[in-house]
Amino acid sequence: MASIGFYHLTKTSLEQALPALLTRTMQVKEHGLVLCKDDAQVKILTEALWRITHPVWLPHGCHTSKHQDISPEWQPIWLTIFEENLNKAAFLFLVRGQSLSALNSFKRVFDLFDGNDEQAVLEARERWRLLKQDGHELTYWKQTEKGWEQGGKG
């Protein structure tokens, strides 16, 4: 079963939080797959990755309905709207508020959701309930003034 962490965004936006998590992914020498809800979200997150200043750059590629970067297998970070793992990622980042059927092919799954959106919180609770029922190892992380704090396990 996959190890799934629910990341409750309360202090920053997804565009601010995701680069730090992807930086840590690269520090442990893993590849990350970011599953987005639509082309617009891919564009927003790609632009966020280009704007970061530490590290200087997060190498990445993307696949939208209109464009696919070349050589996805060489990309340590791959942003896509498709349920595909072209860069052979071990870490999956779900940022679209949906479940994925092939979770077990990943070492770790990060389910990031906006804590300021009540509907997103309700949907995350339902995903937690279903994943717990399926036997996955779950952890809950919440943003605080000090950073990420673990709030529970399931």
pLDDT in tens, 77-94: 999 999 989 999 999 999
Distances in Å between the Cα of 54 and the Cα atoms of 4, 11, 22, 50, 57 are 26, 19, 11, 11, 7
**What is the per-residue pLDDT for 118?**
95
Please state, in angstroms and rounded to a whole number, the distance separating the CA atoms of residues 79 and 33: 6
pLDDT at 102 over 90: no
Total tally of structural domains belonging to the chain: 1
Q: Taking all residues of the chain, what is their mean pLDDT, rounded to a whole number?
A: 91
pLDDT at 22 over 90: yes
Choose among 142, 133, 137: nearest CA to 154: 137
Distances in Å between the Cα of 144 and the Cα atoms of 10, 22, 44, 129, 149 are 7, 19, 24, 24, 7
Q: What is the CATH number of the domain that holds 39?
A: 3.40.50.10110
Q: Which of 13-17, 28-32, 52-56 has the lowest mean pLDDT?
A: 52-56
Please state, in angstroms and rounded to a whole number, the distance separating the CA atoms of residues 86 and 6: 24
Torsion sign (Cα): 87, 88, 89, 93:
positive
**What is the per-residue pLDDT for 151?**
86
pLDDT at 37 over 80: yes
**What is the per-residue pLDDT for 111?**
96
Mean pLDDT of 57-65: 92
| Residue 154 pLDDT class (50, 70, 90 cuts) | low
Q: With b meaning 16 or more CB within 10 Å and e meaning fewer, what string describes 19-40? A: bebbbebbeeebbbbbbbeeee
Alpha helices per DSSP H over the chain: 14-27, 39-51, 118-133
pLDDT at 45 over 70: yes
Residue 60 near residue 70 (C-beta atoms within 8 A): no
| Residue 57 pLDDT class (50, 70, 90 cuts) | confident
Domain carrying residue 110: 3-153
